[in-house]
Amino acid sequence: MLPTILIGSIALPTYPLLLLVALWAGMWLAAYRAQYLNLDGDHVYNAGLYGLLAGIIGARVWFVLSHWENYAPNLTQALSLSRSALSVGEGLIIAGLVVLIYLQRNKVPLGDFFDAAAPGLALALIIGSIGALLGGEALGLPADLPWAVEIGGTARHPIQVYEAGAALLILVILFVGRRWRPWPGFQFWLFVALHSFSRLLLEIFRARPYLINDGYLAVQILALAALVVALSVMAYNFSGRSVSNNQG
Amino acid sequence: MSIKVTHEISLFKSRPLWIVLIVLVVLLGGSWIVFSQNLTQERLGSNNSAEALKPAAVAGHPAPEFELKTLEGDTLRLADFKGKPVLVNFWATWCGPCRAEFPDFQRAHVDNANDLVIIGINNTTADQVDLVDDFVTEMGATFPIVLDETGDVVETYGVLGLPTSVFIDRDGVVNEVFTGPINKAYIESKLSEL
């Protein structure tokens, strides 16, 4: 585990640092891919940076609103530059909405944009998972296995490695099938389907999963829902293009 | 004039096959979710809980026990506070962010005296005891301040940067380890989790 990286007397937290690296690498790959889809790569960087800013601000605002009784007496505490006090899930949703608004306002074809983003998302997941492993975040269940990783004196499933491996497999699939785009958005929905499937399978190895209603793993339910949505979108787009009439 | 109709025949184009696939995914995925839930319930009820894990400054693990001297020379043990949420803060007088967050710790201590125990552990191997005394007096801190004169507790808790705060719940299990400054609002927002 390497929770912090020391540079002189400054301790930088590893996980947030690698998340930033993941974002940058993901944007780079998406911008590179965008060229092949006749898109301006600048849209990738702009959307990414607007999304990052909105996500961080949104995550902080949501956290403060969720704990209003603690912040109301002194609202300036909400302005702390500390990386604590962030509602990550809600921040991601807000970031996604801002990205969509940016794309709509700049008339960027959504299907092409998200097809370009798909391999970048997979790459970001790989780096982010490695960051989680090094930072000791999102730990796996205790396990007595040859490949178990010892954290805090306990051997655990390296779930972060499993997730990085799944994301790497997805990246390879997207690379191998990069020329197969039966319709705009196909590669993105393929990514969603594969990633959702991997989360559905792997979440059971998480040490402290988010549970709802008598012990159901919330991430599994969301993953199954996302998988069904992705397959439904594919079904609609594939089966809706079964007949073409040419009159001449 | 001729009318040419092109049917692209492909497995992917078959709507019935997609429907079958989606139904299968829902059934198998749903079964897997129920299976996972049963396993999780068993695990939570078994001896594979926090007590079975080794003490470590890792979320979900029992907090490592420590016994240190206060500035007054008294002995303070973490075990003395079992049953109450504890916030352990590692700090040093030369640490700027530690100085910035100290007033918040004092305010949190005063406002939550019955609900939260705050313990300040000074990394004395990298500090000076007389400076510590002056610092605590200047800050007006009234929560327990202890000295890690050997560095053993700092090492046991894996502290690599200052300040580091460790939130421990009333069962003595680590809830969160955070490196960096925090404020009173964040401390109080954690109370419901502890």
Instruction: Give the pLDDT score at B49.
Output: 60
Model ipTM value: 0.87
List the Cα angle A116/A119/A120 in 5-degree steps. 85
- Segments of chain B scoring below 50 in pLDDT: 1-9
d(CA A225, nearest CA chain B) in Å:
9
Report, as ranges of residue numbers, the positions in chain A whose pLDDT lies below 70.
9-10, 241-248
Sheet holding B145-147, edge to edge: B75-77, B67-70, B145-147, B117-122, B86-91, B164-168, B174-179
A9 CB near a chain B CB, below 8 Å? Answer: no
What does the alpha-carbon distance between residue B188 and residue B185 come to, in Å, rounded to a whole number? 5
Do the beta carbons of residue B178 and residue B60 sit within 8 Å?
no
Give the minimum alpha-carbon distance from A196 to chain B in angstroms, rounded to a whole number: 11
pLDDT at B103: 94
Q: Which of B9, B11, B13, B38 to mutate to test the interface with A (most CBs of A within 10 A)?
A: B13
In angstroms, rounded to a whole number, what is the distance separating the alpha carbons of residues B106 and B98?
12
Q: Could you report the per-residue pLDDT of B6-15, keeping only the tens digit for each? A: 444 477 888 8
pLDDT at B1: 44
C-beta separation of B179 from A2 below 8 A: no
Residue A12's pLDDT is 78
Q: Nearest CB to B22: which of A13, A153, A231? A: A231
Disruptive mutation site among B1, B6, B18 for chain A (greatest number of A CBs within 10 Å)? B18
HSE (side-chain half, CA atoms, 13 Å) at B166? 30
E strand residue ranges, A133-189: 149-151, 154-156
What is residue B117's predicted lDDT score, i.e. its pLDDT? 96
Query: d(Cα A140, Cα A162) in Å, to the nearest integer?
Result: 10
- Which chain B residues contact residue A142 at CB under 8 A? 48, 52-53
Identify the pLDDT of residue B12: 81
pLDDT, residue B144, reads 95
Any B CB within 8 A of A151 CB: yes
Q: What is the dihedral of CA B63, B66, B70, B76, to 10 degrees?
A: 80
* DSSP-assigned beta bridge partners for residue A206: A140
- What residues of B are in contact with residue A1 (Cβ under 8 Å)? 158
Residue A211's DSSP bridge partners are A217
Nearest to A211 among B40, B54, B178 (CB): B40
SS3 state at A141:
coil
Using an 8 Å CB-CB cutoff, list chain B residues near A182: 12
